[in-house]
Structure 1
């Protein structure tokens, strides 16, 4: 409104001071113009601050909401999406949707300026006012139509960018493996192809945005030209004064700003709608498992029972794990071990059959509450930025001493070789440590959590034989009296278990102590000694 009043006041100065040579009126209206400029500067500063702040806060709220959904104990949001794609949605898409707040602020401001302009022109001339009032809605409608291709291409652009980010994150995570097998060239070719597809999508979106901006600018110029032409004819005919003509031309030039802002806001809204669809897809993804309404039995004894469980490659698995038992599980197919771990962790519910903890079905428990009693430590568990001690105590009770867990997992030996001991900084995903060191810290973290039931999967594949034997003894000692399941083919770990279950072809074919199974099962020997 302040910007729209500037050319109006200049017209007033011309009519009431310049044409009449009135110095007093000149000073008065120049003072009014100065006041308008001060108000314009202050309102611009406050408005821009408010708009940017609201966009940043909306972006942050969306990002937190997305992260909360991805980390929800019932899962589901990560299914079918690589971590890099989810990261792109939580950053770039959230940013674009948050920017809608800024676009709305500028858009409303532009509409108020156009309305002010129309009111002034109507007071000066009904014809000029009608030209603006009728032309602006048509211009807005055309701008909306022109933004449709941009919306479609912007969505495609974000999808390809997310895919490229996901591929890049995937390749970086497996960089050591790629170098070890000499797969760098294949990885580079794969990323180059993905990156070029992302580039093509970005260029298509940029062309659509340029076309939309150019067309809206051309249409805006036509409207301004019509206003100036009509105003000039009215001034020539004496229907309006010289000051009113100057105001009309000034307002016509002023219109260029708000109309350009509206075109920009339209483009921002189009991109925001595309990103909002992608965010909505993640937030609307169904949960993998449901949240039950029963509480954990108190106290948790640690009796786990699988009855007729079929899931993935598992077929009618029946298994009773007694409280305090140290059980080994050998799966001849690694995929079947993964299916078992998913059922125990409630990463998925069995297709048929039930899994119970102290005679309470896991389906009836809230996954987050279940994990306070039964911890499933994956083989590829990640470490976090911080220190070695921070990683070990990440899930430990506040008053717990991490020393026994670190000693049992062999982390004490690791800290002796590190510059700052247990306070040595660990980089993202623990990449500053060797593979064996990472495994030992991850195992110590699982042991320090001190859950009534602990399930670990291949916790010693990257350590030497002597260290593995020490870890096996430490694991048995520290978990004495609490239920522990070790899914592994390591002879050292299996030797310290109370008994071992052989999972062959998705079914339990035998259960006995490790030595007995070694004597009577060629399949078991092949799995353990291979």
Structure 2
């Protein structure tokens, strides 16, 4: 049994939609061509059945028992072959369908991570959602239909040859009739293609509008704009409905044509066959075969029109996937990335003057937290300007920087699903120690099923302080060479913060760690503090040393003693806390950071 999805999706061919679909076929060529071969054998078995039945009937009318037994055995063998190839073809077809879906999800999610904060500027929210909900199925169906489509084409050719060798006029009816049927159906494919594209674009825009409405509902209510936006959404929803009806109209014509045209073809072939049998040009058995072939051809002809429809849908879907794959990030990889081994030495931000020494725990303090967060962005290459060992970070591949340097802030989300998979997706074995370091063991112990408990969307079942500790757990489990934490304890009480600070310093001892904070409980335990004012480092030293000689520093850090500015005093690590409605820890990731 093949395990899906594949660990490595590979590098897709994003030159065009056709190239992308071709890349999928080449990537899974073993199962794709196996499904095609089995589909051809499956359809050939079905195509031979009417001929064998006709031979058996002729043998019976001649009272030739020997030939009758032989043809009955042949029919049994063909039936067994049809059953086996049909089941095997279906199994391979399901594998191809799921493989194409999964690998499309993988490459698009990977691209979303690469684009980061540039994603919403490159694609509408609705486009991204639609790719993950409908387009992947269309692409999977396009790869799946290649087998049945090829088998149907071979079956039609085989039947045509059999009919031509039996009766040239009837064979010509099939030879000429099949292309005419396909041409008529193809006339409906083009307008269907256009209307599907229009409907799909409107659906993406409406989905994005709905996401904006939900995200800004509280603001809209505050300014009295809820009714206006709701009316606008209602109008666009009706436009989408009308577009869907127009698309469904063409689809209904296509479905009707798939039944009506082969039916007319069946009547014509049956009438001609009966006429030739009465005139003695064909035998009774051949008449039965012709009727059976006329009925049989309905299935492969319908599958051929279905193949055209699904390949068209798959091409439209692949075009949107390619549009996402070719979107450019704000942080492109260099043409010739530097060797990963050279990403070592001091991590620095020349713009602010912050220097992080290897193996030390460095704190960055600023009167404006946004300044410290921006420095963290540059040190982690979420903005340009950082250096490592004297070399600019933009000289290295982005994946290399992400692997070596992890930036964890409070904009990161907890994902729906089992808590264990959220915190330790790779099963590293570091989870128990990370839970202890982040003082989050009590959170897990209070859950009904512990680490196997389901996390609600964005972790809304946890309070702000609990979410913050769980995000810290995830960052520690990632175990990066350089860890940059932005306000990791701002939403917890002083007692919990002290425990986290002690354990964090122990857990990261000897490893490069940067903490952007103004909490004295954390600063007191760091090796070195960089005090930033107006975007520049104005002093460095130990926490107590800066308190003695830098009044501005003292004013910033001692402000933490003010209860009104101390984060979430109600979060004392109480595992029963049902969440703080006013907590802002679930804001969307505006920084585009790769989540730990």
- Tell me if both proteins adopt one fold, taking TM over 0.5 as the criterion: yes
The residue that corresponds to 1:295 in the other structure is 340
Moved more, 421-430 or 181-190: 181-190
Gaps of at least 5 residues in structure 1 are 308-316
Specify whether residues 296 and 517 from structure 1 end up closer, same or farther in structure 2 by C-alpha distance, changes over 3 A only: farther
Shift of 1:482: 6.2
Distance 1:279 1:227 in 2: 44
User: What pairs with 1:243-322 in structure 2 (closer than 5 Å)?
Assistant: 243-287=285-329, 288-290=331-333, 292-297=337-342, 300-301=344-345, 303-307=346-350, 317-322=351-356
- Report the counterpart of residue 137 of structure 1 in structure 2: 179
SS state of the match for residue 353, structure 2?
strand
Distance 2:130 2:341 in 1: 37
RMSD, aligned α-carbons:
4.6
Separation in structure 2 between the aligned mates of residue 15 and residue 247 of structure 1, nearest angstrom? 11
Candidates 416, 425, 439, aligned match of 2:468: 439
Pairwise CA distance, 1:11: 3.2
Q: Counterpart of 1:359?
A: 390
> Structure 1 residues 72, 197: CA separation in 2 closer, same or farther (over 3 Å shift)?
same
User: What's the CA shift for 1:77?
Assistant: 6.3
Aligned mates of 2:216, 2:408 — CA distance in 1: 24
> 2:251 maps to which residue?
209
Corresponding residue to 1:517 among 549, 552, 556? 552
Matched with 1:114 is 156
Aligned mates of 2:45, 2:450 — CA distance in 1: 63
Say which of 17, 29, 48 aligns to 1:5: 48
Give the direction of change, closer, same or farther, for the CA distance of 1:392–1:221 in structure 2 (3 Å limit): closer
Aligned in 2, Cα 1:326/1:228: closer, same or farther, shift over 3 Å? same
* 8 Å contact from structure 1 (residues 392, 402) kept in 2: no
- Alignment-derived partner of residue 427 in structure 1: 455
Question: How far apart are the structure 1 equivalents of 2:431 and 2:98?
Answer: 41
2:33 aligned partner = none
For the 8 Å contact 1:395–1:449, the answer to whether it is kept is no
- The correspondence of residues 386-397 of structure 1 with structure 2, limited to 5 A, is none
Does structure 2 retain, via aligned residues, the 8 Å contact 1:468–1:492?
A: yes
Aligned to 1:345: 380
**In 1, distance between residues paired with 2:436 and 2:48?**
77
Instruction: Give the CA deviation at 1:26.
Output: 4.2
| Alignment coverage as a number of residue pairs | 502
The reply to whether residue 379 of structure 1 matches residue 393 of structure 2 is: no
Counterpart in the other structure of 2:484:
455
* C-alpha separation in 1, matches of 2:46 and 2:179: 21
- Residue 459 of structure 1 and its aligned partner are, at CA, apart by 2.9
Is the Cα contact below 8 Å between 1:409 and 1:440 reproduced in 2?
yes
Q: CA deviation at 1:204?
A: 4.0
Partner of 1:230: 272
> TM-score scaled by structure 2?
0.68
**What CA distance in whole angstroms lies between the structure 1 residues aligned with 2:152 and 2:306?**
11
Task: Say which SS state the counterpart of residue 531 (structure 2) adopts.
Answer: strand
Pair 1:501-2:532 in alignment: yes
- Once the 2 structures are TM-superposed, how far is the Cα of residue 2 of structure 1 from its aligned partner? 2.8
User: Structure 1 residues 426, 21: CA separation in 2 closer, same or farther (over 3 Å shift)?
Assistant: closer
Map Cα deviations across residues 18-75 of structure 1 (whole Å, 9 max, x no partner): 2x45555544444443333333333322333332333233333333333444445999
Question: CA, structure 1 residues 96+477, in 2 after alignment: closer, same or farther (shift >3 Å)?
Answer: same
Range that drifts further, 85-94 or 479-488: 479-488
Q: Distance in 2 between matches of 1:11 and 1:388?
A: 64
Task: Give the structure-1-normalised TM-score.
Answer: 0.76
What is the Cα deviation at residue 370 of structure 1? Answer: 2.7
- 1:370 has 2:401 as partner: yes
Q: Alpha carbons of 1:215 and 1:437: their partners in 2 closer, same or farther (altered >3 Å)?
A: same
Is 1:326 equivalent to 2:330 in the alignment? no
1:120, distance to aligned residue in structure 2 (A): 1.9
Deviation at 1:362, TM superposition (A): 0.5
Q: In structure 1, how many angstroms separate the alpha carbons of the residues matched to 2:126 and 2:166?
A: 59
Which residue of structure 2 aligns with residue 310 of structure 1?
A: none
